[in-house]
Amino acid sequence: MKKKIGKKKIIVAVVVVAVVAIAASQLLGGGEEIVNPVETQTASMGSLQQVIAIKGTIEGSDRAEIASSENREISQIYVKEGDRVTAGQVVATLKPSEQEENDNTYAKQQAKNTMELAKFDYEAKKGLYDEGAVSRQEMMQAKTEYDNSVSAYNALFDTKSRSEKNEITSPITGTVTRVNASVGLMANEIPGGEPLFVVENLDDLQMTVKVSEYDVGSISIGQTVTVSGQVLGSETVQGVVSRIAPTGEVKEAGSKEMVIPVTIRITEQNEHLIAGVSAKAEILTAEVSDALIVPLDAVVTDAMTEKRYVMVVEDGIAHKKEITIGLEGDFEAEILQGDVKEGDRLILNPSPELTDGSQVTDMTAFAGNDSQNNGEE
């Protein structure tokens, strides 16, 4: 949806009430006859911005959903939500499988046997060395083999040397934002199919919005974005378009319209802005200044020629003026070409019966609501 930020005229109910009162006064009091009553607004010089406004969710610039396919119990959890972790840090461990426990027991027995044999060989050669029956080199080699067997045996009792399959680690550096794991749960059976942990880089925030295929053509990398949201109150933060997805996706089930994910990097810090909250992004796609601005309600497209025109009131007469439109917002448009100048009074929503040269009564000016200057939005 495109929205214009800038000047526009809002004709309030007071005008309508005044128009009705004045019309009644003229008709009942025998004053000047009201012919083809119209409402008008003046053309003015000003600036016009065109933005695409769309909602999305604030998230970390890097996000990892940590899961496991292992059908084993979670034995320990080392982190909680809000903790900072580094890439490769262990966040949980799993209970070894029965097969792994059996293999470990067998490995320990084998290592023990190897260690005892190495010890026996070393002690025997040490005795022979003392008697001069073997060389010092043979005795030292036996000692080295015994020392190595002791280290191998002890390593089997060191939890740090266990299989990496027993350890759940974080693939990125960031903050733990979700812990769905619980001790005793099977690692691959977290309720709702949720990941065990979610880790996000909250130092750099971003938001991904789904832009309509009809609007994405006006979006490009580097465009300025203004982000607002409930958590920010009346404040806003600035961002920039950092990525446009190369492919689209269906807007919703059953819809034929496609949307394209667009990533916005938040470039301004604000302590109130946190991941997981909804926000609105206004992507600035075009901007003009010192331009002749007219209300869109005054612009008419000829159904036969597709040319555009406005009806200008001069001395109670409507004059049809062909125009060329430039930048167009939700409420106003830029005039690039046409016999329209600043201060001209343009008929709003002119009826098809009005033709060039028709006599009209400008009720807006008549009611004293001269709109030489547009009000602020």
Q: What is the CATH number of the domain that holds 133?
A: 1.10.287
- pLDDT at site 350: 94
Bridge partner list, 147: none
**What does the block give as tokens for 18?**
């005044």
The model's pLDDT over 287-307, given as tens digits with 9 standing for 90+, comes to 999 999 999 999 999 988 999
Band (pLDDT 50/70/90 cuts) for residue 1 is very low
Give the chain's domain count. 4
Q: Are residues 143 and 102 in the same domain?
A: yes
Could you give the CA distance from residue 59 to residue 208 in angstroms, rounded to a whole number?
8
Band (pLDDT 50/70/90 cuts) for residue 171 is very high
Q: Are residues 152 and 273 in the same domain?
A: no
Q: Are residues 78 and 189 in the same domain?
A: yes
Q: Does any domain span residue 349?
A: yes
Q: What is the CATH number of the domain that holds 38?
A: 2.40.420.20
Q: Are residues 319 and 346 in the same domain?
A: yes
Q: Are residues 80 and 174 in the same domain?
A: yes
Helix or strand (DSSP H, E) at 363: helix 363-366
Q: What is the CATH number of the domain that holds 261?
A: 2.40.30.170
24: pLDDT strictly greater than 60: no
Bridge partner list, 42: 345
- pLDDT at site 255: 84
The model's pLDDT over 186-215, given as tens digits with 9 standing for 90+, comes to 999 999 999 999 999 998 999 999 999 999
Sign for the pseudo-dihedral over CA of 170, 176, 182, 187: negative
Q: Are residues 171 and 152 in the same domain?
A: no
pTM (predicted TM-score)? 0.59
How far, rounded to the nearest angstrom, does the alpha carbon of residue 377 sit from its chain's CA centroid? Answer: 26
The model's pLDDT over 94-143, given as tens digits with 9 standing for 90+, comes to 988 665 656 667 788 888 899 999 999 999 988 888 888 889 898 899 89
Band (pLDDT 50/70/90 cuts) for residue 238 is very high
The CA-CA-CA angle for residues 156, 161, 164, to 5°, reads 130
Helix or strand (DSSP H, E) at 144: helix 136-155
Q: Lowest-pLDDT range, 12-26, 59-73, 75-89?
A: 12-26
> Is 350 exposed, middle or buried, given 0-12, 13-18 or 19+ CB atoms closer than 10 A?
buried
- Given 233, 259, 287, the domain boundary residue is 287
Q: Identify which of 65, 76, 154 has the alpha carbon closest to the alpha carbon of residue 108.
A: 154
Of all residues in the chain, what percent carry a pLDDT higher than 70? Answer: 84
Q: Does any domain span residue 84?
A: yes
Q: Does any domain span residue 1?
A: no
Q: Are residues 129 and 224 in the same domain?
A: no
Bridge partner list, 282: 53, 226
Q: Does any domain span residue 32?
A: yes
What is the residue whose two structure tokens read 């446009």?
244
What is the residue whose two structure tokens read 């046409």?
338
Q: Are residues 330 and 222 in the same domain?
A: no
Q: Does any domain span residue 257?
A: yes
Structural domain range at position 360: 7-47+290-366
Q: How far is CA 211 from CA 42, 103, 181, 266, 267, in A?
A: 34, 55, 35, 18, 20
